[in-house]
């Protein structure tokens, strides 16, 4: 039982880091709903945090699962404002080796 708790904690620590920044502008702070979603420890890859987030910087509305990692946010911040940022991040996530 203790091993499952440790595994659960490690999963959520990584998940939180991978889904921490706004996918539209790269801002870290956000408003969030807290509904709570269950984690299937047998199939962790299917977990999606579907709480709703609102970015105070750009006003983007999205679910927590759509948020991006710090590394992705740093790339996003380097893009020009007129580039389709969200599409660019999706391309990064879907690139071979990042799936």
**Does a structural domain hold residue 49?**
yes
Rounded to the nearest 10 degrees, how much is the dihedral formed by the CA atoms of 82, 66, 93, 8?
A: 150
**Does a structural domain hold residue 89?**
no
Q: What angle do CA 58, 72, 63 make, to 5 degrees?
A: 50
**Does a structural domain hold residue 36?**
yes
**Does a structural domain hold residue 44?**
yes
The CA distance from 37 to 15, in Å, is: 13
What average pLDDT does the chain have? Answer: 80
pLDDT tens digits for 10-39? Answer: 988 998 899 999 998 889 888 878 776 777
**Does a structural domain hold residue 65?**
yes
Contacts for 24 with CB less than 8 Å, ≥ 6 apart: 55, 58, 60, 62, 85, 86
Count the domains in the chain.
1
Picking from 85, 37, 99, the residue whose alpha carbon sits closest to that of residue 64 is 37
**Full-model pTM:** 0.69
Domain that holds residue 12: 2-80
**Does a structural domain hold residue 20?**
yes
């Amino acid at each position: 039982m203790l091993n499952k708790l440790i595994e659960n904690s490690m999963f959520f620590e990584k998940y939180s880091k991978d889904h921490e920044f706004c996918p539209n502008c790269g801002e870290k702070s956000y408003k969030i709903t807290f509904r709570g979603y269950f984690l299937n420890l047998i199939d962790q890859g299917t977990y999606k945090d579907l709480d709703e987030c609102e970015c105070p910087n750009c006003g983007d509305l999205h679910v927590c699962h759509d948020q991006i990692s710090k590394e992705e946010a740093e790339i996003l911040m380097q893009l020009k404002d007129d580039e389709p940022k969200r599409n660019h991040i999706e391309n990064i996530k879907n690139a071979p080796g990042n799936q």
